[in-house]
Structure 1
């Protein structure tokens, strides 16, 4: 063997040795940080270094936020420009608005089987934005605002996708991305914890398509403020399934704390698989608390036994709703009842188990308790449907069915007799989980539809992580404290 070949072989041999040692060293260090001892250390978990080397601690407390929820079956009618939602939304500066609609399009074969018409949904978005993001001086005067988007764009063949982009957050951040505790700590400290140096997004997760209405990237050039000030509320989720339409709006300064956004749809219509009935569910985390909002339109009918079809819809929705797993390091809920706070809204279609004449007589006597005793939803809950769910006390008249452009129930006049239905509380809002307190549960008055909108306000407890510098602890002293908790590792280079 020549001298040259011997030198090359020797170099190759030495390179392999040191490469192996270096790799093993890195693996040992990684294992030591991932060891149970390191992970169980409260000191290591709560200490973050800022860019100046100052120690920072994180602790969790509970804050209260307000949530406004509304549901409205609009009877297949597209909104007109002059429809004012202020009286329905009562924009009292809630932190989160959850607004659900049913029958935003007629439930005909064309909309159910062929092409979904999303033009009415775009118009509803424009009207909601007009109400939530009106100029503060207009809100103070109580006058009708001049519409920047609801006017010029309202009847210019509005696109749901385009309007969704306009009303969403300006940050361009994907709200469906991971914002686990360690990622939040990294952001707040403007540095990183040495225990959290790797990405915690699942490699198996693929973002939603660009044209999917649940994809929440905002083009900054499309950010159109309602006034010279920026929007007070940003749209974080909007989804349509035939006639069901669910939107979630969050106060703009709070959007940064929303994450893990996912959407799931369950079809329960014709043959149990079409979208004329069913639900849209939105899952998200807000700070460190998980939320789920369900907007549903359940099986219709007031014949005896139709309530069992609605019960089946409820059970199938709870059983089959599955949110995709997008975070591999956090236990983000994948089922509805796994969430900390759940709110279910919609046209649940439960009727009053009385004849039209019997119900009308009790209505005329304002005998609410007698009517509620025959309410199918209350009856079915007593035998296990919606077990564990809560509903506020009802102090308002049945919300269905009215004659159009009238405050008279359908069937009370000769002309409306063919559309007669026994008045019922079809439109409901329920909740599940602790840390939710209902402040109000009311119906609003609008003759736009044969249903009256129903609204509720809640106070919800949210787990919040806050940061602060630990007082009286120098960086040099902290260094020695940290070293006491570090696992001992073998050094290959000494």
Structure 2
């Protein structure tokens, strides 16, 4: 593999196996133009093409070589976005650590380098291979100003250091994310990329860097896909442990290999005392494969492990007097932040994913049964989930799931250790499943499969470290023993292979423990410092690993690598020539009916969403709220697909006191709302999908049970606005999710109170808008649909004497003219571009409790519409149908407000849509005349928000000219596309008649050489 760079126009060419990947930024910046390093791209994009090297001319290109000694370009990692700079990542150093077979190798990564795509400001760090006049080869670097030194060296330094530590590995001969059974034994292995599979992708740690590159590969013809794979143009890397030992079986040489791969797909915390996410991914998930190879056979077995697959968190309570004395096991307890139904759904997704890849599942529960331990709470909850899931799954009959309890104490694990001894009390429990599941076995001498693994053991303990490793080792050793016996070989004469197997597990446990604890943040530092025998480090590692966020310290580099920093998005790849060819082929083979646009859009589905907001004044009533959730004044039967409720003042606000978070009251409202929803006459059941709380403000999201599988990517966020962002008495809670392919954001907030505090409420709004950030730095307005509700606290700018008579006469439109929020929105100040249905109900604040009379207290507060529901959508995704209040629910000094929306959810075929939009832009594009010669290719780049908009203007092209034509006049006869004209160009014939309307047979243009002959 070789990498070449043309400095202007800035173009990278990566070559391997006779093929090349051409990489161009659409509009690079150069130091000599005076703007190097200062340009910020709105949408990070790169233009790529894949072609045969025979059509390329590399005369003006310099070869880039790794800066490290004896370094090579060994594999392409993909595109990394850091501080708006697009970087190309390459493996430049490695060492062989494992050889599963004689034909396969696994390499530890020891060197990585990154190169900036759009800026030449960092080229002073690039090493070029150059040649002198005597064809003598030497290595050189260009001179560059020192002003770029600090920025260039630190651009991807942390990621480079992380990958080069030796914890990541890859294979040049096979996709490292696959098991032996998945790829199959091959005497002459041919690399084939499979890391984008639904299960394998969790082990590809450079997935973020290759997301769009994998999509680009899928567009290539099969033969080019094969060249792309074997050339190393995408190199999957994994993290964990890999090692091979030489051993002996039946007096014959053998190789025993262990490959352990940590997963990186879970949202949020990858390691530590955390549970599951909405997609079924768990913390500390890892797959371990044992491979035994001889000249006669190849044996492989896989076991997986991970934390308990339900939603849970740990809470630690401290004494104010002496924190070190007060903390004990009894001071820690489990908290289950999500409803039983939501956890059950996530658990089902987790096991369904395992079954899709492995078949039957044996769930080995290693949690303690000690009632005095806080872990027993988790064990009971997990068992409850498992029993219900197994009962339902056995009825469905898709796959079998077995529950195995192995309450192994830490003392027992320490006593037995990772030795060749296999405890009989454990073997007797697991043996039936070991026999049922079998193992992968391939006879090399006769080229036949004699065994296949039909199920998997899924091991869990609380932190999934030593105990889980010990149980996994026992299972794998038992499988190996049975396999040896099946071959007619006695175990007594083959103890060496068992001893080597135990040694691998011991080393694996040490490595995985080090990797896991190294990235659990404690007191803002990592647990690697816990090796120091200090009270503070021991205390931090033991008691705080599950309650402190893990996004500080050394794991910042890991977040960058995984694309999880707030300023990181995926680098979009555009391939104009490939897209054009595909679009032409699609249109040629499509039906003659001109329905290209309608084919790309799947049928739109209309769903109903209920949104409600209520300031409950800290009350937990026993009265019914059915009239609010299912209002009788709506037409037809009420059935909601999504229910979104915002509750303010869950805990009562007292003057001079900032309330604490009361989970108990939030749970009360969650249960009350769900029980009300389930009482519908149609018998529809709802699932509590997500609950978020900040101080006294809570958000509840419920989904119809039959629609839950259409929702993915649930993310929550909170932001304080009280006391300048320090207190949670005011603020907001937001949740983001996808329904099919429609992105929805829901917000519940409580803004500053007071008649005259309009500016403060506006500042609260601005704080929330800026503070709510989701994955890929997505804000609320970046969603397809946004519903924002809550106690906005905007008042009516009239005195009581004028307001109350207007309310009695139901002259709400007249009253609305003086509504503070209305005036702010009309002037485009607060909630710009948001919509609100016409208000046809009386002000919802402030009432005497259990009364229809407005405030009669000493303060005599002016009635106001403080409780509001606003919406914002793209392309009319949201259609408001109902907007009203519920006057019959009177236990609070507010009245609940509700809105019913119709939501158009749809799925788009992104590839077809992209090619349709690009067709007019890429017509006439040629690799050599366009991609390699023009500085500015920004007109070839577009995003999904462009819709049918023309491409942006450039210095040479303007969008208002038909077809994005060039600004300069183009005369066909004067174009220099013809090679002959390059050396003998055409010029205007000076012998033409002066009168342009006079008829003549003289040509308008003649060759320059002809003209010179005529004037001699």
Q: Distance in 2 between matches of 1:457 and 1:422?
A: 28
Helix, strand or coil for the counterpart of 1:456? Answer: strand
User: Does the 8 Å CA contact 1:61/1:465 hold for their aligned counterparts?
Assistant: no
Q: Distance in 2 between matches of 1:298 and 1:21?
A: 57
Against the structure 1 CA distance between its residues 402 and 308, is the aligned structure 2 distance closer, same or farther, given a 3 Å change threshold?
same
Aligned residue number for residue 60 of structure 2: none
- TM-score, normalization: structure 2? 0.31
Alignment of 1:350-361 (within 5 A): 350-361=794-805
Q: Distance in 1 between matches of 2:802 and 2:819?
A: 13
- Residue 366 of structure 1 and its aligned partner are, at CA, apart by 2.7
Helix, strand or coil for the counterpart of 1:94? Answer: coil
2:625 aligned to 72, 85, 90, which one?
85
Aligned residue number for residue 725 of structure 2: 272
1:450 aligned to 893, 906, 911, which one?
893
Against the structure 1 CA distance between its residues 37 and 87, is the aligned structure 2 distance closer, same or farther, given a 3 Å change threshold?
closer
Q: Distance in 2 between matches of 1:441 and 1:288?
A: 27
Higher relative contact order (CA 8 A, sep 6+): 1
2:879 aligned to 437, 455, 473, which one?
437
User: Does the 8 Å CA contact 1:98/1:249 hold for their aligned counterparts?
Assistant: yes
- Residue 62 of structure 1 and its aligned partner are, at CA, apart by 1.0
Q: Distance in 2 between matches of 1:287 and 1:240?
A: 26
- Residue 443 of structure 1 and its aligned partner are, at CA, apart by 0.5
**Structure 1: 4+ residue segments shifted above 3 A:** 14-25, 27-37, 39-44, 108-113
Against the structure 1 CA distance between its residues 245 and 33, is the aligned structure 2 distance closer, same or farther, given a 3 Å change threshold?
closer
- Residue 368 of structure 1 and its aligned partner are, at CA, apart by 1.6
- Tell which structure's C-alpha radius of gyration is larger: 2
User: Does the 8 Å CA contact 1:78/1:105 hold for their aligned counterparts?
Assistant: no
Helix, strand or coil for the counterpart of 2:816? Answer: helix
Aligned residue number for residue 691 of structure 2: 238
1:314 aligned to 759, 765, 769, which one?
765
Aligned residue number for residue 570 of structure 2: none
Q: Distance in 1 between matches of 2:214 and 2:750?
A: 53
Aligned residue number for residue 475 of structure 1: none
- Residue 359 of structure 1 and its aligned partner are, at CA, apart by 1.4
Aligned residue number for residue 793 of structure 2: 349
Alignment of 1:323-338 (within 5 A): 323-325=774-776, 334-338=778-782
Q: Distance in 2 between matches of 1:405 and 1:394?
A: 23
- Residue 29 of structure 1 and its aligned partner are, at CA, apart by 9.5
Q: Distance in 2 between matches of 1:18 and 1:121?
A: 55
Helix, strand or coil for the counterpart of 2:823? Answer: helix
- Residue 245 of structure 1 and its aligned partner are, at CA, apart by 1.0
1:400 aligns with 2:940: no
User: Does the 8 Å CA contact 1:234/1:252 hold for their aligned counterparts?
Assistant: yes
Aligned residue number for residue 294 of structure 1: 747
Against the structure 1 CA distance between its residues 111 and 284, is the aligned structure 2 distance closer, same or farther, given a 3 Å change threshold?
farther
- Residue 28 of structure 1 and its aligned partner are, at CA, apart by 8.5
Q: Distance in 2 between matches of 1:255 and 1:32?
A: 29
Q: Distance in 2 between matches of 1:254 and 1:407?
A: 39
Deviations 1:237-271 (A, max 9, x none): 11111111110111101100111000000100123
- Residue 58 of structure 1 and its aligned partner are, at CA, apart by 9.4
Deviations 1:273-319 (A, max 9, x none): 2111110000000111000000010010013xx11111111111111
Alignment of 1:87-236 (within 5 A): 87-90=627-630, 92-108=638-654, 112=658, 115-134=660-679, 139=681, 232-236=685-689
- TM-score, normalization: structure 1? 0.62
Aligned residue number for residue 191 of structure 2: 26
- Residue 59 of structure 1 and its aligned partner are, at CA, apart by 6.3
Query: How well do the aligned residues superpose, as a CA RMSD in angstroms?
Result: 3.1
2:712 aligned to 259, 263, 281, which one?
259
Aligned residue number for residue 808 of structure 2: 364
Deviations 1:203-240 (A, max 9, x none): xxxxxxxxxxxxxxxxxxxxxxxxxx8x7110101111
- Residue 408 of structure 1 and its aligned partner are, at CA, apart by 0.3
- Consecutive unaligned residues of structure 1, counting only runs of 5 or more, are 1-11, 45-56, 141-228, 326-332, 467-494
- Residue 97 of structure 1 and its aligned partner are, at CA, apart by 0.5
Deviations 1:309-363 (A, max 9, x none): 11111111111211134xxxxxxx7210000010001111110011122212322
Q: Distance in 2 between matches of 1:258 and 1:235?
A: 13
- Consecutive unaligned residues of structure 2, counting only runs of 5 or more, are 1-98, 107-170, 175-188, 196-212, 221-577, 587-598, 632-637, 910-1016
Q: Distance in 2 between matches of 1:27 and 1:101?
A: 53
Aligned residue number for residue 66 of structure 1: 608
